[in-house]
Amino acid sequence: MTTKEKILAKSLELFNEKGVETVTTRQIALALNMSQGNLCYHFPKKESIIIALYKQLVQQFDSMYNKLNVNELSITLFFEITTITNQYFIDYKFLMLNFVQIMRWHPSIKTHYQALTIQRNEQMIGLFAALQQMGLLKAEVYKGQFKQVIEQIMILNNFWLSHAEILYRGTASAKIKHYNQLVGAFLFPYLTKKGQEEYQSLIIP
Q: State the DSSP string of 15-58.
A: HHHH-TTT--HHHHHHHTT--HHHHHHH-SSHHHHHHHHHHHHH
The average pLDDT across 118-122 equals 94
Task: Evaluate if residue 106 carries a pLDDT over 80.
Answer: yes
176-202 pLDDT per residue, tens: 999 999 999 999 999 999 999 999 999
What are the tens digits of pLDDT across the range 1-57?
899 999 999 999 999 999 999 999 999 999 999 999 999 999 999 999 999 999 999
C-alpha to C-alpha distance for 42 and 52, rounded to whole angstroms: 11
What was the pLDDT predicted at 146?
96
pLDDT the model gives residue 70: 85
pLDDT at 173: 80
Dist CA 27 CA 18 (whole Å):
11
pLDDT score of 71: 87
In CATH, the number for domain 1-44 is 1.10.10.60
pLDDT at 145: 97
Residue spans per domain, the chain: 1-44, 52-203
CA angle 61, 27, 46 (to 5 degrees): 50
When pLDDT is cut at 50, 70 and 90, the band that residue 205 belongs to is low
The CATH homologous superfamily of the domain defined by 52-203: Tetracycline Repressor, domain 2 (1.10.357.10)
Amino acid present at 165: E
pTM of the predicted protein model: 0.92
pLDDT tier at 139 (50, 70, 90 boundaries)? very high
